[in-house]
A and B are shown apart, each in its own frame.
Chain A
């Protein structure tokens, strides 16, 4: 099942993100005017409205802001908000990890991988 690929045709604005992800690179949008990174990526900075935004490769490091393990599923899975080292907090899944070991404040590391058919910016416990 692919939730993402059917949707992406509607989102040319963020096509570079998904292209880079396919090459193993995790990009963030930074604003050259105000210096802040934001999430999810936009053409216009949501903080200062400058259109002078650029893609930069992220460190891939983060900490768990919150999470939940969905038990009502064929395979339990962990959804989480991860606060990136660069500042913004993003929704993701914690994968390749002991789900019972997930804690708020825990360190995570980018683990680009597939969920169903979609290649996504996932994270694993560091």
Chain B
């Protein structure tokens, strides 16, 4: 290998074509142009015509530029030296640290044998009551945060990164605003969490092709650490940008679009990333939390729609809070039975009362009379939103459950909560109020 080709036949968008021999599908090449050296990946072979996708984009590439095939597919260095470092989508350092070249591993590897998976059983605590109490995050789960642009989803992710009880955080930023990148970096540095984090960041101004690499590279590294026995949490923001990058490239490649311009394999492409979430028997695990912004708050848009079919539930972020109704963690039943005896009942009870509060709010806005019960609900809803739903509150699961009982006691008599009397006897804060 190492033969240099210096005649580029065509350049269209990010795709260049070269006549070359002995090239393998998926291999990398380096393209040296006046603007520097860029990596490129083989995306099509037809006789001796090789189509390459240039990571830095086709802009400025000249037909006389040099293309050198590297003879291997996209790889990333995998070692403990990655921890605390920040890289670009193609694995180049973004901080001032050295470039890592040892122990290169391939990205986008094969999928896990379903027979080797195990039923998830461990909860990941985050210190956020709306997650821990109401929709617990489970090890090996894949969950998106459905959100409208403008919602504080990156703040939420940063908090989860700081607080989640895992061994390693991998943050994959796709099309991140530069400010948001700096926000993540500073938050993690200040909180002292950077040392247990690895960041792969593609910012909005970086070449679009690199956006496609971020999930694969993040997950390949995560897989490596998980196999070593680490509990890894992968945070991806924002997967809609990833899908849009795929759309952009598919259309440049003249692929037939299927739905609103997205390529027909959108589902498979998203699934092959999300399905990397796994709990290895006898080793570590990968849990994926991704952000999916919904254009126009439309959950039927192809990206959130396909994501919903792949993931195990979703968190809805609306008005700065995790909405309790649309949000669902499909795996929570597997863990919230063993936390504390009141967990499930309190979770259901509080949500039912909150739903009743919403109804009362509706009645109120329509000008109906408010009964005593309505007034109680209104008081409850107000406290619940302030002290539980607000994203700034921070309690351990046990404290959050205790807080829940306090809120109930502040607003209702024990009988009004509809909770089982055995639980009321054990947990109601004012014991005298509980009558047999």
**A and B held together in a complex:** no
